[in-house]
């Protein structure tokens, strides 16, 4: 039993690194895409009746880009996860409300679990709850290596 636990524990930081690299990259690319296609994002936000669509498009793009880079590097990972989580909840309830609605009206979880914001939420929650792992800037900047604990 201890061998299984040791194997699982030894894979934690690698798993967190893979999550951070993949999802950090995805966030950064999505955020940059918002700036490149700002006009279409503003129109999309208008169609969703999001107030101040231009300002919110800039805010969303900034949070995704900066938060994605932070996740990718493992820098201020848990802090970066908070605005990303808020952004994703907003996206889920504004752009993908049908997926949320299906949960409590039809007891159908399938649309929710296939929803893009929900997938991003899982990644952000994993990093917020478990931290960025040993292969991160946070690990070295917080000197967690001296205490042999996760940042």
Q: In total, how many domains does the chain have?
A: 1
- Per-residue pLDDT reduced to its tens digit, 48-69: 999 999 999 999 999 999 999 9
Confidence of residue 142 (pLDDT cuts 50, 70, 90): confident
Indicate whether 135 belongs to any domain.
Answer: yes
**Whole-prediction pTM value?**
0.89
Please determine, for residue 39, whether its predicted confidence score (pLDDT) is greater than 90. yes
**How far, in Å, CA of 137 to CA of 91, rounded?**
29
Q: For residue 23, how far is the Cα from the chain centroid?
A: 6
The domain in which residue 21 lies consists of: 12-147
Please determine, for residue 145, whether its predicted confidence score (pLDDT) is greater than 90. no
- Per-residue pLDDT reduced to its tens digit, 73-83: 999 999 999 99
- Per-residue pLDDT reduced to its tens digit, 64-121: 999 999 999 999 999 999 999 999 999 999 988 888 788 788 887 887 888 889 899 9
Q: Which residues contact 124 (CB under 8 A, 6 or more apart)?
A: 23, 81, 84, 85, 88
Q: Which of 28, 33, 31 is nearest to 72 (CA)?
A: 28
Indicate whether 1 belongs to any domain.
Answer: no
Please determine, for residue 40, whether its predicted confidence score (pLDDT) is greater than 90. yes
Indicate whether 3 belongs to any domain.
Answer: no
Indicate whether 126 belongs to any domain.
Answer: yes
pLDDT at position 62 is 98
Indicate whether 51 belongs to any domain.
Answer: yes
pLDDT at position 149 is 67
pLDDT at position 59 is 98
Indicate whether 141 belongs to any domain.
Answer: yes
Indicate whether 7 belongs to any domain.
Answer: no
């Amino acid at each position: 039993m201890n061998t299984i636990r040791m194997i699982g524990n030894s894979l934690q930081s690698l798993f967190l690194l893979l999550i951070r690299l993949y999802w950090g990259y995805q966030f950064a690319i999505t955020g940059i895409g918002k700036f490149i296609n700002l006009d279409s994002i503003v129109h999309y936000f208008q169609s969703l009746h999001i107030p101040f669509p231009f300002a919110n498009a800039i805010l969303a793009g900034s949070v995704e880009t900066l938060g994605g880079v932070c996740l990718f590097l493992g820098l201020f990972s848990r802090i970066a996860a908070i605005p990303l989580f808020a952004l994703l909840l907003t996206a889920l309830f504004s752009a993908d409300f049908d997926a949320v609605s299906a949960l409590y009206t039809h007891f159908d979880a399938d649309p929710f679990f296939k929803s893009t914001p929900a997938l991003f939420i899982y990644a952000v929650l994993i990093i917020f709850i478990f931290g960025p792992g040993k292969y991160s800037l946070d690990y070295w900047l917080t000197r967690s290596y001296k205490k042999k604990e996760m940042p």
